[in-house]
Structure 1
Amino acid sequence: MPRVVASDVYSIEEIACRRENGVSIVVPIYKNAEVTLRCILSCLVALERMPGAQLYLINDASPEREIKALLSSFMEHQSVHVLENQSNLGFVHTVNRGVELAGNHDVILVNSDVVVSPDCFETLALDAYSNKRIATVSPFSNNATICSFPEFPVESTTFSDQPLIRLWSAFNSARLPLISAPTGVGFCLYIKRRALIEIGQLDAKNFPRGYGEENDFCQRAIAHGWMNAISANCYAHHEGSISFGSQKDQLIERAMQTLDRIYPTYHQQVAQFISADPLVHHRLLRYLQVSFQTASPIVLHVLHNLGGGVRQHVDELKDVIAKKIISFELLPLSSEACLLRIGHPNRLFSVSFPQGNFSELLLFLQLAGIDCVHFHQTSGFDASIYDLPLKLSCKSIITAHDFQAFFGTPTLTDSNGRFDNAKIETGVCSIPRAILDSSLVIFPSLSTKEIVLQKIVPSRHVTTPHPEPGRNTASDALPFKRKKSYTIAAVGALGLEKGADRLEAVAKELAPCGKFQVKLIGYAYRLLTGVTTTGPYNDADLKDIIRSEGADILLFTALWPETYSYTLSYAIDSGLPIIAPRIGAFSERTAGRPNVFLYDIDVDNDKLAALVSEAIAELEELAVIPPNEQLVVNYLPDFYVAPYLNEVGLRRRISHELDFTYISGLQVTAREVEKATFREKIFIFLWRYSHTFGVAQLLRLLPFGLKRYLKRSLTRRSVIDVRKRVG
C-alpha cells in the first residue's frame, strides 16, 4: 500500500553528503529535433547545479537528418557525450547502453520530449538519498499517469497556458514528503546505482521497444526490499510519446500483457494506489502555490447544489474566463457542511468544510488568495455566507438568476404558480445592505432589473446576457415548411410556474382538429394528458433532440417573469418559430426576431390555443413573419470579455508559505464522483412509476402543494440531476 517515505536524515546538507555516487543523465533520442533541442537545453541548465554530472545523448539511428545535425552541435560541450547507435536498438537497449557508459554513477533517465526544471536533477538526487532504501524517484509532471499534476492520473492541461518558470517557482517552496508507489514513471526517473547493481538493468528481452520496462524494474526493486518514490518537490514538463507515434497504443497493450504475466498483482497495486490517492494533498498544495503566483485573479463562485440554469451558467462562465481567471466554487451539502470545488473544467479537488461557522473555510480562502466572491444562488447556505467578502477584504459580485435573494421567493408566484406582483412589495431581501452597497449586481435581462429596482436599488449594477459559448443566440429564423400536420413542442422541466398545466390545457384545446401533436421535450411535475413527454435530456444533446423529435414550432408557457431562460436560447439557436409569453426575458430576448409570437400572460388557455393555430396559418402563408415588436434593448455588450475581468481585479498578493501539515489535515478528494442519496434513489423509483397510467391518474388527485412537498422531502434537485447520480 502507498505510504509516506520517512526521511532517515535531518537536513539537506546531510542528504547531499550521503550521496556516494556521481550522477549521469541518459537521454535516448530518435525523432523531432525541435522538441529534442528544448530537452537538451533544459538538461544543460540543470546540469550546472550538479558538479561532476555527465549528460549522455544517444542517437538511436534516427531517420531524421536534423537529429544528427543537432547532436553534432553539442559534441564539444563539456560534460556532454554524444553517441550514435549503428542501427536502431530500441528504447530499452539504448537506455541500457547509457547505464553502462555511466560507470558507477547514479542514472537519471530523461525522455527526449521532457523539459526539466533548473533544479530537477539536484532535487531528485536529494530526494533519492533522503532514505537508504529508495531505488527510484519520479517527479510531478503534466503527463505522467500517477505522477500527473494537477489532474490525476491523466494528462493535465490546467496550467498549459502558464510559463514553465512559474510552475517551477511554485515547486521551489517547502519540501514535501515523498510517497512510495508500486512503480516509477520512466519519462524522468532517478535510479540509484546500488539498486541497479542489486536488481540489474532494464529488461530489454521482455520490453525491447519501450513501455513497461520501468514498471518491471520498479516491481523487481520492491521484491528486493527497495522503494519507488514520487516527489512533489520538482516538476518536469512532458510532451509525450514523440518517438512512438501511432504505435503507442499497440506497444502499451503488449507491455501491459507482459506485466500481467510476470507480475499478476501489478495492476491491482496501481489501481489501489489510484484509489487511495496518497498524493492528493501534495497536488492541492502545489496547485494553490502555482495559482497564487499566477497573474490571474481567483474567483469563488457561490451557488446552490440543485443543478439547472445556475449550474449551466457557472460552468459556461468558467469556460469563457478559463484562460484569464482561476475559478473555485462553493456549494452546500447540508445544513452542517459545504463543499469547496477547486479547478476548472475538471473540478480537480473537493474540500469539505463546516457550515454556520465559516472560520475554517475562511482560513483556507485567505491562504488561497481569493480576489472576488461571485454570488449566484445562496439557497442551502447559512446567512453568514454573505460575510465572506468583508472578512476576505475582497470584491464581490451578485448575479440575479432568480428573485430568491431579493424577495425571499425565487419565482414571485402564488400557490397556483402564477406571477404575483404583491410578492415584490412583501418580499424580504436576504442580502446585507453592506454587500449590496459594495457589490456589482449583474442582471441577465432588463425585465429582471426593472422588477428588482422597484424595491431594491444596488449601488452598482449592469444588465448583460449570460455568456453562451455553445449556442448561437442570434441565429437566423428558418423559413417555415408547410405540412399536413405539425408538432408543437415545449422544452424543459415544467413545474406549475413553468406552465405544465397550461401546456396540457392547450393540448386539449388543439386535439379536436387532429392537425397538431403536442410534445414536451423534457418532463413535467406530473403526467400530462394529451402531451407526448420525451423525458430528461442532457443539455449538450438538446439541439439534436429538438430536431429529431420533429418540432415545427416551440411553445413557452411560463407563468412567471423568467430572468433569462436557457431553453429559450436553445429555441433561438434552432431557428424554429417561437410562441412565448410577454413577460420576463422572453420579450426582450426575441425582440426584432422574425417568426416570434408573443401573448399576454393572463390569456385564457383556449385563446392561447387559437393563437397557436393562427400562428401556424400565418407561417403557412408567409413562411417568414416579420418582427412585430421592436424593443430597445440596452445590454452592456461583451461584458464577460474584459469588464468582468476588470471588475474581479487582482489584489496585491501577500507572500506566505502554505503549510503542508495544515493542508494534509483537510478532507480532500479528487476525481469527485457524486452518488445519489438513499432518498434520491427512492425519488427516482417513484418518479419512474409515476408515469405509468394507473399511478399517473392517482397522482392527479393529489394537490400540487402536497406533491411538491413530497418531492422536496426526498430531493431538491431536478430529475435530470438526480438521474445522473443514480445512473
Structure 2
Amino acid sequence: MIGVTSDSNPDLTGTTSRAAFGGYGHVVTPEDRAAWRDVMNARAQVAFQRGQEAIQAGRLQDGIFWLERAERMARQSPNVIWALAIAFLNIGRVQSCLERMERLYQTYGLREAAFLSVVCLVRLNETAQASSRLGTALSKFHILPELRQLASQLSKSAGKPGWCTASNAGWVEVEATGSIRVLLDGVEAGRGLCGRYKLPDGWQKAARLEVRAGRQHVLGSPIDVQALIRCESLVRATGKGLEGWLWYPAEPDHVPSVTLWDDRSLSVPEFAADVDSDVPLSRPRSFRLEKNCLPKGDCGALLLRDEHGRPLVGAPIDPMVGRLVSKRGRLPERLRPVHVEAWPHRPRRPRGSSGCVVVIPVYRDLAGSKACLRSVLATVPPGIEIIVVDDATPEPKLANFLDMLAQDGKITLVRHESNQGFPASANDGMRLAAGRDVILLNSDTLVCSGWIERLRARLAFTDVGTVTPFSNDASILSYPSVDTENMVPDGSGTRKLDVLCQALFSQEDACIDLPTGNGFCMAITAECLAETGFFREDLFAQGYGEENDFCLRASAQGYRHFPAPDVYVAHTGSTSFGSSRKALMGRNLEILNALHPGYDAEVAAFIERDPLGQFRRQLDMSRIDEQRQGRSSMLLVQHDAGGGVGRVVLERVQSFEQQGFLALTLRPTSLGCKLEWPMGEKNFAPNLKFTLPEELPLLVAALLRLKICRIEWHHLVGHAPCVRTLHEDLCVPYDVFVHDYIWFCPRISLLDGNGRYCGEPDVAGCEACIATWGGYLGEDLAVPDLISRSQREFRQAGTVMVPSRDTAQRMTRHFPQTSFLPVPLEDDAVLLSNVSGRTGVISGRALRICVVGGLSRWKGYDVLLSMAQCIRAMSLPVELVLVGHTPDDETLIAAGVKVTGEYQEDEVLGLIREQSADIGFIPSVAPETWCYALGILWKSGLEVLCFDIGAQSERVRCSDRGAVVPLGMPVEFLVRFILRRWGPVS
C-alpha cells in the first residue's frame, strides 16, 4: 500500500475560496480531511500501478515517469521509493537509486537496501566504499544469493582473505583461502577450510561471531549475532484461539518456528497476507492455534517463543483475552470489564512522607541509558534509592556500566536472565519499594535539578494516585504539541524548558484531573500502588497500555491523576523500526478498551477540553518573547492557503528579521487565529491560538507584550472581522501588500463562472456578475460596500504595495485616490541571465511545451486541456507537460498531457530539465499580480509564451525572451503560432 497525508484541498477555481483552505467560521472536519486523503491516495495508487505496468511491459522511461509522480504524491511510501529505485538501477541512473536505497536503509534497516547500495557503489566505481558497505551488510544480514560472486570479488579487492555469512538455522558459511577459525565471543567454535560450519548450542546468546584467517577478519566479520536473530513477531488471542506471525528481517527466507508452552515446535512456512507493516518487502509468516489445540479451561498465560528462546511479542498471552476482545463467552473475574465513569474521589488530606524510590527499567541503548542515569544521579536528593532493572540487555557494555554503578553503591541493580518486557521489569523494581512512593522512569529520558522534589510535592495528598510531568513525548502531557511529533530537546534545551515550566507554574494547573498518567515518568503514591496492584504483565506483555490500565484501576479505587506542570522531562521515545511495536500497540489498545469501556471517549473528551492549553500557550508566549531579546516586532497578516502569498510573507519575514525585528505572522483558524514565528523550528510555538472575538483582549495583550510596532496586511480572507481593526487596539500603523483583486472583486480572480476574464466592468456590472456566479469573500458584503471599505482601509494605511506596475495601474482605475507602490518580488534581470534565446527544436522530434505550478481554472487549466485535445485531433508534433498538479489531473492525462504531480521548491528546476522542454508557457487567463511560475521557467533557461494580460505579460514584453499573444486566441491558432515560432528546424 502507498499513502499520502496532504490536507490541502484546492478547487478548480484556484481562487482563495474559503472552502479551499478553511478559516474563521469554516470548520474542516476530520471527515473532510479523510475524504481528501482518500482522493490523493487513489491518485498516488493509480500512478504507482501505471508505473509498474509500464515497467513490466518494457517501457522503462514511462514507468519511471509514473513512479516519480507517485513518489511526489506519497513521499513517505517505502514501496514507491523501492520500486522507483529499482527502475532507476535498471536504466543506469545509479546515483538516483543509491540515494533511495540509503534512505530506505536508514529508515527501515532494510536488508535488500543495504546490499543493493553495494551494487550501486560498484557501478559507480566506488569499489573501496562498496567493499566497506558489503562488510557492514554481511555483519548484520544473511547475504542475498545473487551477490555471492560479487562478495568474492570485493573481498579480494579489499585485501581480505574471503567473506562470510551466517544463518538463523545455526551455521556460518565461509568463502576464503587458507585456514580459518570461527569464534563466538572469543571462544573457538570451529576451524578448517572454507565451507559451512554448524554453530554450537547456545550460539544465539553470543554477541559476536568472528571468522578469521590468521589474525585477519574475513569480510563481514565480526557478525552481530543479535542483529542477525532479531525477530519481528506478534501473538494475539481471538475468539477462535491464538494467532500470530513472525519473521527474521536479517534473513527473510528462513522458515521460522514457534516453540509452544509445552516445548513443542511449530514450523511456520506460510506467508501472512494481512499484517499491517510499514516495512517494504516485509515477509512475515503466520500461524494459528485453534481452541482445541490449547490447554483446557482457564489455563492462565501461555508462553510462546521463537526458535532462539525469546518470547514472541505479545507473549505470555492469556487465551481468555480472546473472549474479552470478541465479547463472547464467560469471563473470569480478572478480565471482567469495568466501565470508565466518574468514580467518587478520596478525601483530600495531607499525607505523611513514606520515602521514595526511583525505578528505571533498562534494556538497550548504551548512550541513552548512560545519559539518563547520569542525569538522575546528578539530581537525586539524599535518601532516595535508585533501582535499575536490567531486562537482559543484549549490550555487554551497558551491562558492564550498570555493574560498575552497582559496585559503587550508586544504584540497586536487578538483572533478568531473559528479556521480560517493560511491565515485568517495572513490577520487579516496584516490588522493592517496600511501602515507599515510586517514580517510574524510562531509560530514554533526561531529568533536571529538583525534579524529584517537585514531583514529590505533588504526591503530598491522600487522593493522589499518580503524577506525570510535561515532556516532548508524553501523549496528553506533551509540549509543545499534543497531536504531532515534537523535537527532542538536548540537555540545555531541557533545562531551559524545565526552568520555564517552574516560572509559569500555578496551583490550579496542578489540580487538573487527567484520565491517565504516562509511564515514561510517572510518580505513584505508596497507598495507590498497594491498593491497585502492579502492572498487568499477563495482559500487556512487552508493554504499551499497562500504565493506562493501572491508572484506570486506581481511579476505580478513588485515586486521582494529576499533571506536574512545573516539571519538564525530555523523552527520546521509541526509535525502533519494524512492525512489532505498531502491532503490539494496536493489540494492547484493543485489550485496554475492552477492559475499560469508555476509555477512548474519556481521553478524546479531555483532548477536546484541553484544560492544559492555557499553560501551553503561556509557555509559547514566554519562549517567543525570549527570542525577541528586546527587539520590536512586526506582524504580518496572511491567509491560510500558502501559495504565492505564503512565499512573499516568508521572504518579508526574513527581510524584517535581517533588519533587526522579530517578525511574526497571523493566520486564520476556524475559531479565530493563530500567532506564529516562521523563523522558529517546527512546532516551536503551536499553542498561540485565540478564539475570536472572545479572546481578542488576550490576543491584544500578547501582541503588546511582544512590542508589535507595525502590521503588514497580506491577506485578510478567512480572518475574523476584528482582525481588520487590530491596529487600532494596538495603536500602531499598518501597511498593505496587495496580492490579488479581492479589494474590489468578490470573485477575487476577475473571472466569471465560465472561466473568462470579466473585463473589469463598472460596479453595476460587478454586481450582476456576483448575482449570477457568486463570490468567495465569505462575507455578506455588496460590491459598493466592499469598494468603500477598501478605499477607507487604503486611505488609513501607511504604504500600499503591489508587486508590479500592471497591478498598480489596474488598482488605480478602481481606487484613483490611492498611491500604489510597485515592489517587485524577484529580480528579472538575474532570472533572464539563464535564458540564452531561441535555438530551435531538432528536426524529427515533437516540440515540448512546459507549464509549471498548481494549475487552477484561472491559471489556465481549460486552455491547457483544449490545447491537448487540439494537438491530438490534428496530430500535431507538440507535447505538453505540466510540472505540477491540478484538481483534475486525470482528465489532462487522458488528453495526452504529462502531469508530474506536486513538487517541492528545490525539485522544480531539475524536473523541468528532465522534460527536455523547448519553451515555457504561462496559460493564465486572468491578470496575475506577479507570477512565480514565470520566474521558474526563466531560471530553467526557457523562453516563455503568455497571454496579453497581467504582470506576466508586462514582464515577458520587457524581457525580449518570449512572446505575448492576445487573450482568447483560439487554441488552433495558438498552437500554430507556437509551431511557427519555435517549431522544429532542419
Secondary structure of 2:569's counterpart equals: strand
Q: Which residue of 1 aligns with 2:428?
A: 97
Deviations for 1:315-343, whole angstroms, at most 9, x for unmatched residues? 8988999999785524387xxx8434658
Q: What does residue 21 of structure 1 align with?
A: 354
Residue 597 of structure 1 aligns with which residue?
962
| Partner residue of 1:436 out of 790, 794, 798 | 798
**Residue 476 of structure 2: SS of its match in structure 1?**
helix
Aligned to 1:61: 392
Task: Report the counterpart of residue 493 of structure 1 in structure 2.
Answer: 856
CA deviation map 1:624-676 (0-9, x unaligned): xxxxxxxxxxxxxxxxxxxxxxxxxxxxxxxxxxxxxxxxxxxxxxxxxxxxx
1:222 equivalent to 2:561? Answer: no
Alignment of 1:146 with 2:445, yes or no, is no
Q: Is the 8 A contact 1:211 1:255 kept in 2?
A: yes
Answering whether residue 573 of structure 2 is matched by residue 235 of structure 1, we say: no
Q: Aligned partners of 1:174, 1:146: CA distance in 2, in Å?
A: 17
2:983: which partner in 1?
620
In structure 2, do the counterparts of structure 1 residues 162 and 463 end up closer, same or farther at CA, with 3 Å as the change threshold? farther
Which whole-Å CA distance do the structure 2 matches of 1:22 and 1:394 have between them? 57
Q: Tell me which residue corresponds to 1:109.
A: 440
1:329 maps to which of 657, 660, 666: 666
**What does residue range 145-544 of structure 1 map to in structure 2 within 5 Å?**
145-157=475-487, 163-172=493-502, 173-175=504-506, 176-241=509-574, 247-295=580-628, 300-304=635-639, 309-310=644-645, 327-331=664-668, 338-340=672-674, 348=687, 350-354=689-693, 359=697, 361-367=699-705, 373-379=711-717, 385=723, 388-389=726-727, 391-392=729-730, 398-402=736-740, 417-418=758-759, 429-431=791-793, 435-436=797-798, 444=803, 463-465=824-826, 492-495=855-858, 513=874, 515=876, 522=886
* SS in structure 1 at match of 2:929: coil
Structure 2 CA distance for partners of 1:188 and 1:584, relative to 1, 3 Å: same
Instruction: Please say which of residues 204-213 and 410-419 is displaced more in the overlay.
Output: 410-419
Offset at residue 407 of structure 1 (A): 11
Q: Is the 8 A contact 1:340 1:353 kept in 2?
A: no
Q: Distance in 2 between matches of 1:523 and 1:253?
A: 35
- Structure with the bigger RCO (C-alpha within 8 Å, sep 6+) is 1
Residues 382 and 146 of structure 1: CA distance in aligned 2, closer, same or farther (over 3 Å): closer
Partners in 2 of 1:621 and 1:41 — Cα distance? 72
Instruction: Give SS of 2:465's match.
Output: strand
Amino acid at match of 2:638: L
Q: How does 1:560-579 map to 2 (within 5 A)?
A: 561-568=927-934, 578-579=944-945
- C-alpha offsets along residues 324-367 of structure 1, whole Å, 9 cap, x if unaligned? 9785524387xxx8434658767656422129x96564234335
572 and 140 in structure 1: CA distance in 2 versus 1, 3 angstrom threshold: farther
- Aligned AA for 2:963? L
Contact 1:560 1:583 in 2 (8 A): yes
Q: Which SS does the other structure have where 2:487 is aligned?
A: coil
Offset at 1:267?
3.5
How many aligned residue pairs are there?
Answer: 591
User: What is the CA-CA distance between 1:107 and the residue it aligns to?
Assistant: 0.5
Cα distance in 1, alignment partners of residues 555 and 802 from structure 2: 61
Where does 1:641-652 land on structure 2 (aligned, <5 Å)? none
| Higher gyration radius (CA) | 2
How far 1:140 sits from its partner (Å)? 1.8
Aligned to 2:222: none
Q: 1:395 to 1:32 in 2, by over 3 A?
A: farther
For the aligned residues, what is the CA RMSD?
5.7
**What CA distance in whole angstroms lies between the structure 2 residues aligned with 1:231 and 1:37?**
25
Amino acid at match of 1:148: S
Q: 1:231 to 1:575 in 2, by over 3 A?
A: farther
Q: Is the 8 A contact 2:855 2:861 kept in 1?
A: no
Shift of 1:194: 0.6
Q: Please tell me whether the aligned partners of residues 302 and 329 of structure 1 are also in contact (alpha carbons under 8 angstroms).
A: yes
**Matching residue of 1:586:** 952
SS of corresponding position for 2:392: coil
Q: Which stretch has the larger CA shift, 577-586 or 97-106?
A: 577-586
Q: Match for 2:618: what amino acid?
A: L
Contact 2:621 2:702 in 1 (8 A): no
Separation in 2 of the partners of 1:33 and 1:503? 59
Which structure 2 residues correspond to residues 576-725 of structure 1 after superposition, within 5 A?
A: 578-581=944-947, 584-586=950-952, 597-599=962-964, 605=969, 610=973, 612-621=975-984
Distance 1:375 1:69, change over 3 A: farther
Amino acid aligned to 2:962:
F
Distance change in 2, residues 1:479/1:358 (3 Å): farther
2: CA distance between counterparts of 1:309 and 1:2?
51
Shift of 1:306: 7.2
CA distance 1:592–1:68, change in 2 (3 Å): farther
Contact 1:150–1:284 under 8 Å retained in 2: no
Q: What one-letter code is carried by the residue in structure 2 that aligns with 1:598?
A: A
Q: Provide, for residues 9-42 of structure 1, a one-character-per-residue CA deviation record: whole Å limited to 9, x for no partner.
A: 7xxxx96xx4421121111122222212221233
Quote the Cα distance in structure 2 between the aligned partners of 1:104 and 1:383: 60
Where structure 2 has 5 or more consecutive residues not aligned to the other structure, the ranges are: 1-339, 767-786, 828-832
Distance in 2 of aligned mates of 1:117 and 1:55: 16
One-letter code aligned to 2:703: L
Deviations 1:573-629 (A, max 9, x none): 8887642146544268769999x63215x57726x8645423224433259xxxxxx
How far does the alpha carbon of each residue in 1:260-288 deviate from its partner, in whole angstroms, 9 at most, with x for none? 45334434433443344443333333333
CA contact (8 A) 1:143 1:155 kept: yes
Q: In structure 2, how many angstroms separate the alpha carbons of the residues matched to 1:54 and 1:322?
A: 50
**1:39 maps onto 2:375 in alignment:** no
SS in 1 for 2:540: coil
Distance 1:489 1:208, change over 3 A: closer
Deviations 1:97-148 (A, max 9, x none): 221223222000110111123233222222233x422211112211122222
Assess, with a 3 A threshold, how the Cα gap between structure 1 residues 151 and 480 changes in structure 2: closer, same or farther.
Answer: farther
Give distance in 1, aligned partners of 2:393 and 2:541: 17
Structure-2 residue corresponding to 1:685: none
Inter-partner Cα distance in structure 2 for 1:33 and 1:322: 41
Unaligned runs of 5+ in 1: 467-472, 624-727
Distance 1:154 1:216 in 2: 24
Query: 1:180: how far off?
Result: 2.4
Mark the CA change 1:77 to 1:581 in structure 2 (over 3 Å): closer, same or farther.
Answer: farther
1:674 aligned partner: none
Summarize the Cα distance change of 1:59–1:326 in structure 2 as closer, same or farther, 3 Å threshold: farther
Superposed counterparts of 1:60-79, under 5 Å: 60-72=391-403, 74-75=405-406
